[in-house]
Structure 1
Amino acid sequence: MEERYLEDFAPGQIFRSDRLTVTPEAIIAYAREYDPQPFHLDDAAARGTLFGGLAASGWHTASLTMKLLVGSEFRPVGGIIGGGMEELAWPRPVRPGDELRLEIEVLEVRLSQSKPRQGVLRARCTTLNQRDEVVQVIVPKLVVPRRG
């Protein structure tokens, strides 16, 4: 896939990712390491919580979103370099067996005031499950090199 410079992006562009399936083993392994709460570690324990069953950590969802983003057709030159986050929301949990995909909408492209060789791109990255339900929305500001 072709990498893109700042000039190759425009507000309104939509990019998409492939899909990935979330396994219960992956949910539990991530939780053991980074978010060891009962609703992320054990389905039986999770049934008695507001989740009503095993649910991936929001941070796991964010990590999966990053994997989808890096592998998508979006591809800025030099990689995906964050310059901050304006929004992060998890409107519904990710469950074992969910098949996730990502839609990236370019919201704004602007030149850097202080660094003429780069600019800032704002995008809405929406992670959806197999039922097209939104499981995460992030709006990062990304640093993207300019051409030449």
Structure 2
Amino acid sequence: MNQQGVSEICFEETYAVSHDQTARSLFARLPHGREHAQQLIECLATGYLVAVVESVCIREMQRHVDSTVEVVVGRTVRIEHRGPVPPSTRLRLRGWVEGLGERSATFRVQAHDDHELVFEGTVTLVAAHRASIESRIAAKVDALETARGGQRI
């Protein structure tokens, strides 16, 4: 990871919220949410908002790692979803690196619509050694298969 490059990251961009990213739409696709999805609101689901913010932070950090050796992974997300965001709203995302570790970066991120601040939080990402993560995943898959008696899910 190029720490100097990562330390200088800041971004500002817009994001258009689509109709399939509402709480109602997301929960309708989840086994535990189907029965109450229609009672939810037609506004951006918090989970989608987190995914949008994390994806932008990962994109920015990925520019400063050697992707053949490192992979950017999430460690911690702390957020406050402060206001409803209806479909078709354009969000203004703004973020910057607030803290830097040996292999990690913490981003401070805010999102505004034309009316108010709707999201504020931090996302901590790690530039992990790709081979190490892939090895850990393979070991976990093996352990889970063993625990299930060799049956894949």
TM-score above 0.5, yes or no:
yes
Structure 1 contact 74–104 (Cα < 8 Å) conserved: no
Structure with greater contact order relative to length (CA < 8 Å, sep ≥ 6): 1
The letter for the 1-side match of 2:88 is G
Q: Secondary structure at the match of 1:16?
A: strand
Query: How many residues are paired up?
Result: 122
Q: CA deviation at 1:124?
A: 0.6
Distance (whole Å) between structure 2 residues aligned to residue 74 and residue 108 of structure 1 = 16
- Counterpart of 2:144 in structure 1 is none
User: How well do the aligned residues superpose, as a CA RMSD in angstroms?
Assistant: 3.2
Structure 1 contact 14–105 (Cα < 8 Å) conserved: yes
Distance 1:36 1:93, change over 3 A: farther
1:23-51 per-residue CA deviation (whole Å, 9 max, x = no partner) reads: 33442432322484899x55xx56xxxxx
* 2:26 paired with 1:30: yes
Structure 2 contact 44–84 (Cα < 8 Å) conserved: yes
| Residue of structure 2 aligned with 1:56, choices 26, 41, 44 | 44
Runs of 4+ in 1 over 4 A off after TM superposition: 70-74
Q: Secondary structure at the match of 2:101?
A: strand
Counting only pairs closer than 5 Å after superposition, residues 61-140 of structure 1 correspond to structure 2 as: 61-71=49-59, 75-77=63-65, 78=67, 79-85=71-77, 87-111=78-102, 119-129=103-113, 131=114, 133-140=116-123
Q: CA deviation at 1:88?
A: 1.2
The letter for the 2-side match of 1:54 is E
- Counterpart of 1:19 in structure 2 is 14
Structure 1 contact 14–103 (Cα < 8 Å) conserved: no
Distance (whole Å) between structure 2 residues aligned to residue 55 and residue 18 of structure 1 = 20
Give the % identical residues: 14
| TM-score normalised to structure 1 length | 0.61
The letter for the 2-side match of 1:61 is L
Q: Secondary structure at the match of 1:9?
A: helix
Unaligned runs of 5+ in 2: 129-153
Structure 1 contact 68–101 (Cα < 8 Å) conserved: no
Unaligned runs of 5+ in 1: 47-52, 112-118
